[in-house]
Amino acid sequence: MEKKTQHPASDSFVKGAFILGITGVFVKILGAFFKIPLANLLGPEGMSYYSSAYPIYNFFIVLATAGLPTAIGKMISEQRALGEYDNIDRTFKSGMLLMTAVGLFGSLFMFFGADMIVEGIKNPNAALAFKALAPAIVIVSLMAVFRGYFQGFQNMKPFAMSQVFEQFGRVIVGYGLAIYLLDRGLELAAAGATFGATTGAIAGLGIIFLTYIKFKKKHAKEIAHQLTGKILSHSALIKRIGMIAVPITLGAAVMPLMNTIDVMLVMNRLTDIGMGENANDLYGMLSGYAATLVNLPQVITSAIQISIVPAVAALFVRKEANNLSRTIQNGIRMTLIISMPATAGLVLLSQPIMELLYPNQIQYAQTTGQILSILGFGVIFLGMFQVTTGILQGISMQNRPAMNLMAGAIIKILLTYILVGIPSINIYGAAISTLAAYGTATTLNLITMKRHANITFDPKVVVLKPLLAVLVMSAVVILVHMGSLLIMPSKLATVAAIGIGMVVYVIMLFKTKTITEEDYAMMPGGRRLKKINDRFFK
């Protein structure tokens, strides 16, 4: 009979999600502090050189990082669970061989093809920026293998440390070189800024490599003995990595492709209904303002996805049904705890938030606010899609999320064409279709989990408790905002409503026992939080 005690895999999953979530927020903030002064330094022309290099770079980075760390992490987690320790080392080396080849190809293509590419995009002065960025591809590819290795051991600290060092290197060196080279021309200054990504990648790879060496020495006894006779060849392991990574990578490519189609479709349909003169402004409000805010909670929910895959994989191969269900329930519950209040805040305070963040574009606040009030609901669907995708990847159903997202993308294209073409709906149709796309993909993921893996969860624990906390928070936010407008400027009223709403939400999480005893044991700083809870809320 299976024990009902919490398995260490589930403990590590929650800790890992917290670590990656906090790191992700920090890295995002650091990136914003880099981009804003860099834009002021280089101006529109210099930023065009800087930005032109990134679409090609990002394409190869998606190839290197979208599926491979997850594939290696999943395989190593399964091998640990089954005692196949020799295969862990072989999986790591196979990943290194594969990604060295992919990374070198990408770096060489971008470096030696830079002159041809910039001629094709009609931006010949960006060639140096391309060449300065090219070496980062192979370095990031190798770093992805190390990240996958530690993901398999459910140790997210090295993963997080490499992200921080990478971003610091990018910001410090990139901005420093841009300042130093500015007198020599915008081409060199932009190249210096892009070279920051290369030095950042070197810093990230260096710290995770040193951590790997220490980790191997510390855990030498654990990985010294193969407990089964099943030793796989490098070719078999590379094939297995590809079988897992390719569907995940294809899935990651669906949304960028869909967004590319979306740009053309939205602009054309707005023109068809006589709104061509305002098409650029309307699309900018959707993609540059509202969508940016909706994507922010993704930093934390993607951390949950990364962390849950190896935990689910280990429990799944060991057939520990109770612990598997508990881990999945925790993952979905954590996602809703983050995404539900974010949705409520973005929907209820959509226009005030736009007025607060974009004071120089106040004339667009009403329209962008209305777009945000629609897109805000997408935070829940996007977060749920991410975590259910991680769960399906963990139980070896990595093909299904890509197929489900493709179904959502088709619905988005159809709805965008129909709705944006209705004059009374116009740009709001694009927001509605995005909501429908993620809603469809999430629903299909949940159906797949239920139908093919018989995975279920307790709605009271997972949905109703955090929903109650969100409803109370929402009522307080509305009352505080309305009351504050009578005695203070609108921006301060918005800040007050957000701040008090967050405090009330945290209190309600404690009062409704949405945060459980297990959560305190698993999360960093959990003991201190439990003492606070016991002192004030019992």
Taking residues 77-86, what's their average pLDDT? Answer: 83
Would you say residue 397 has pLDDT above 70? yes
Name the residue ranges covered by the structural domains of the chain: 27-232, 253-457, 458-538
Q: How far apart are CA 89 and CA 224, in angstroms?
A: 10
Q: Residue 329 is which amino acid?
A: Q
Of 68-72, 380-384, 389-393, 528-532, the range with the lowest mean pLDDT is 528-532
pLDDT in tens, 17-69: 888 888 888 888 888 778 778 878 888 788 878 878 887 888 888 877 888 88
Specify the pTM. Answer: 0.83
Q: What are 510's two structure tokens?
A: 């404690």
Contact status, residue 389 vs residue 251, Cβ threshold 8 Å: yes
User: Pick from 491, 195, 246, 202: which is nearest to 355 by CA?
Assistant: 491
pLDDT over 80 at 343, yes or no: yes
More confident site: 165 or 88? 165
What's the rounded Cα separation, in Å, for the pair 303 and 359? 32
The answer to whether 332 and 387 have CB atoms below 8 angstroms apart is: yes
Given a cut of 80, whether residue 444 has pLDDT beyond it is: yes
Reference 393, options 306, 509, 286; nearest CA is 306
User: Counting every residue, how long is the chain?
Assistant: 538
- Supply the pLDDT for residue 538: 60
Instruction: Inform me whether the pLDDT recorded for 524 exceeds 80.
Output: no
pLDDT, average across residues 172-192? 91
Tell me what pLDDT residue 2 has: 42
Supply 455's token pair. 């995975």
Contact 158, 146 (CB under 8 A): yes
- Say whether pLDDT at 476 is over 90: yes
Q: What are phi and psi of 343, to 5 degrees?
A: -60, -50
The mean pLDDT value of the chain amounts to 86
Token readout for 423 is 């004059």
Quick one: pLDDT at residue 119? 83
Residue 321 — very low, low, confident or very high, per pLDDT cuts 50/70/90? confident
Per DSSP, the chain holds a count of helices (H) and strands (E) of 24, 0
pLDDT tens for 287-302 read 767 887 888 888 889 8
pLDDT at 1: 38
Find, among 262, 520, 247, the residue nearest to 375 by Cα: 262
Q: Which residue has the higher pLDDT, 260 or 383?
A: 383
Mean pLDDT of 124-153: 92
What DSSP line would sit under 473-517, residue for residue?
A: HHHHHHHHHHHHTTTS-HHHHHHHHHHHHHHHHHHHHHHTT-S-H
Give the count of alpha carbons within 13 A of 42, CB side only: 29
User: Chain centroid to CA 68: how far?
Assistant: 15
